[in-house]
Chains A and B, each alone.
Chain A
């Protein structure tokens, strides 16, 4: 893979200490860590891919699937938590049939947990591609998802 060579060149010593910065750069460039990239990093740093995956899953910041067309962030900050964001998350996971950190098979939706997004007044709040939706509940979530799907059909 040509694309990673450039990143590797920035860390010319190929030492294991560069693992996390390399993973971060890849995620910035590609949006997520693919199997191919992890294996490639493994052969570059002479590390088994299981170890790299182990390190990467230790941190919340790394993703292993590309974002969906509609990327949903669920705020799990304190205010949202108090007003039921756990249920919001559960409901989204149920309706989308994926877990946080995953992307639906049709690549339409992805789900991410974020710490406070600074809109506590709107709690519980989610953001879809950066657009906030306030005071969500099961019914509202259903509408939001359906609207996204409708927009797809129109296109």
Chain B
């Protein structure tokens, strides 16, 4: 039903099901919110979004209150603004107030709100809560003193990720956010996805940072410091840098990394191509030999940990392929080291990832050779921006450069890994060629593109009907995984990405990434695929060279040693 409500003396269109907040936002006005999270049930906890109901004189929460015919509200009356200001002052009353030293300085919702509401003094003094920081996780740092208990992390962790390892603990002024038994995140079922960081309005949740080690390695004349960046990085940095959304800055990124002092610059899209060669061989093998199907991708370390905790019975379905980050890490410290006459200890390998779970992945025991990690340090997209600033790199005044070779050249298939459906599309292109000896006529597979939670397709490869499914956003995988557990057998290959939209929506990306920005990043990846000619991984000349010179054959002896891994059921507090 359509009707009107009156906002600040103007009639505005509304429909049944709208919240007041939605109508306000459609009409050129903003009302501040804190606990509100798009696409989730409103909790109405913070009362930041209050507006005045003119008829009853009451202050009502616009995020949770349905619009109804004839409703008359004021969004910015003095009374409303004052009450919002008081809420902010109350939130600040026990806040550490160390903005200058905070990672979220100049990028904090609490800071912005207090600035917007002209908070000029500490009017209300409360007892500070002295809770210890949780530094136990390889990826996530929690600082409960900065937490304003908005609950957004709790909502995301449960609704979007299906993990629910954190919740409100205790009661009243003792309330905190914590894990089961208030222990370290590392003993919980946390999958390190970082989506909680993406929604935290303050500095209470951040990623674990390794700047000092990287700086030290760069200074060390004995170290060869190499860097790789994930397929999504070049298309998702624009917002961090204040450039046009979705802009591809690949060339500038190469130049910037050289300015910082990285000795060699490689592209994880190259190792995405490598992953495709190994993974498609594995898939074809499984189909031909009647082994466990469907095969499920293993590129996403958030998903891999989730499987180890929540679906251990599906571990045999996980592809044994390491992720592109770890494949390249392993190749750098073997093939590249050999080529350059270096020993693996002399190499310091950094990777730039859209992802906090990659930090966890890099320190997994399985990701080492003779005690040496394949990858030494991981920076998120956000951290990279800070790192470039630290080194004074002027991204607006720099000429594009190329990556180093080998291991810098990629197909567009490898680049597609950045978006949900990309791994699948790239794998199908190569599997098709390997099975039929011919290239696909149409490389694009529109059924598995886009931001939908779950996508499925059946692809004819010769006489074989290949069933594929793609899911993104961990909670969306549950139904599909249960169907598989219960014997669904028309699907042969499944791609799972824990984060919404895939890596372009990763937990290491720009905070405040909107759906529109996700779409723009996706479009850029697709247009790269459209415009460039090398569209399949198996034709990447550097990949062909790598097999000729070093690996010899997919799934061969060297591959097994360097590029494949195993998984184990994890005992955590679920």
Shortest C-beta distance, A44 to chain B (Å), equals: 12
Least CB distance from B211 to A in Å reads: 31
A122 vs chain B, min Cβ distance (A): 29
Contact present for B167 and A53 (CB under 8 Å): yes
CB within 8 Å for A53 and B165 given contacts A39-B573, A39-B574, A64-B181: no
| B residues contacting the other copy or chain, number (CB 8 A) | 19
Contact A58 B188 (CB under 8 A): no
Contact status B170-A58, CB under 8 Å: yes
Contact partners of B163 in chain A: CB under 8 A: 48
Contact present for B158 and A48 (CB under 8 Å):
yes
CB distance from B160 to the nearest CB of A (A): 14
Question: Which 10 residue pairs are nearest across A and B when measured between Cβ atoms?
Answer: A54-B167, A48-B164, A49-B180, A50-B167, A50-B180, A53-B180, A57-B169, A58-B171, A57-B170, A49-B573
Which among B158, B170, B181 has the highest number of chain A CB atoms within 10 Å?
A: B181
A16 CB, min distance to chain B CBs, angstroms: 13
Q: Kindly state whether residue B168 has any CB partner on chain A within 8 Å.
A: yes
Q: A35-B573, A38-B180 known; A57 and B188 CB under 8 Å?
A: no
Q: Which residues from chain B contact A35 at a C-beta distance below 8 Å? A: 180-181, 573
**A window 2-60: CB within 8 A of B:** 35, 38-39, 42-43, 48-54, 57-59
Q: Map CB proximity to A onto B267-288 as digits: 1 under 8 Å, 0 otherwise.
A: 0000000000000000000000
User: Known pairs A35-B180, A50-B166, A51-B164. 14 more at Cβ < 8 A?
Assistant: A35-B181, A39-B180, A42-B574, A48-B158, A48-B574, A49-B180, A49-B573, A50-B164, A51-B167, A53-B182, A54-B167, A54-B169, A57-B170, A64-B181
Within the assembled complex, what's the spacing in Å between the Cα atoms of A38 and B164? 15
What 1/0 mask marks residues of chain B from 158 to 200 whose CB sits below 8 Å from any chain A CB?
1000011111111100000011111000001100000000000
Find B188's partner among A42, A50, A51, A59 (CB 8 Å cutoff). Answer: A50
Q: Which of A38, A42, A53, A54 has the most CB of B within 10 A?
A: A54
Instruction: Report how far A145 CA is from B419 CA in the complex, Å.
Output: 64
Majority SS at the chain A contact face: helix
A-B contact list, 19 entries, CB within 8 Å? A38-B180, A39-B180, A39-B573, A39-B574, A42-B574, A49-B180, A49-B573, A50-B165, A50-B166, A50-B573, A52-B180, A53-B179, A53-B180, A54-B168, A54-B169, A57-B169, A57-B171, A58-B171, A59-B171
> Nearest A residue to B162 by beta-carbon distance?
A48
A contact residues around B165 at 8 Å (CB): 48, 50
Docked Cα-Cα span, A64 to B170, in Å, equals 13
- Nearest chain A residue, comparing its CB with the CB of B179: A50
Q: Which A residues are in CB contact (< 8 Å) with B170?
A: 57-58
Enumerate chain A residues within 8 angstroms of B166, measured Cβ to Cβ.
50
Tell me how far the C-beta of A113 lies from the nearest C-beta in chain B, rounded to whole angstroms.
13
| Nearest CB of A to B485, in Å | 15
Chain B hits for A43, CB < 8 A: 574
Contact residues in A for B171 (Cβ distance below 8 Å): 57-59
Contact between B169 and A49, CB atoms less than 8 A apart: no
> What 1/0 mask marks residues of chain A from 40 to 84 whose CB sits below 8 Å from any chain B CB?
001100001111111001110000100000000000000000000
Please, which residues of chain A bring their CB within 8 A of the CB of B182?
A: 53
**Residues in A whose Cβ lies below 8 Å from that of B188:** 50
When distances are taken between beta carbons in the complex, the residues of chain B under 8 Å from A57 are 169-171
When distances are taken between beta carbons in the complex, the residues of chain A under 8 Å from B164 are 48, 50-51
Chain A residues, CB < 8 A from B167: 48, 50-51, 53-54
Instruction: Report chain B residues within 8 Å CB of A53.
Output: 167, 169, 179-182
Are B168 and A49 in contact, with the CB atoms below 8 A? no
| Closest Cβ–Cβ distance, residue A37 to chain B (whole Å) | 12
Which residue of chain A has the shortest Cβ distance to B169 in the bound complex? Answer: A57
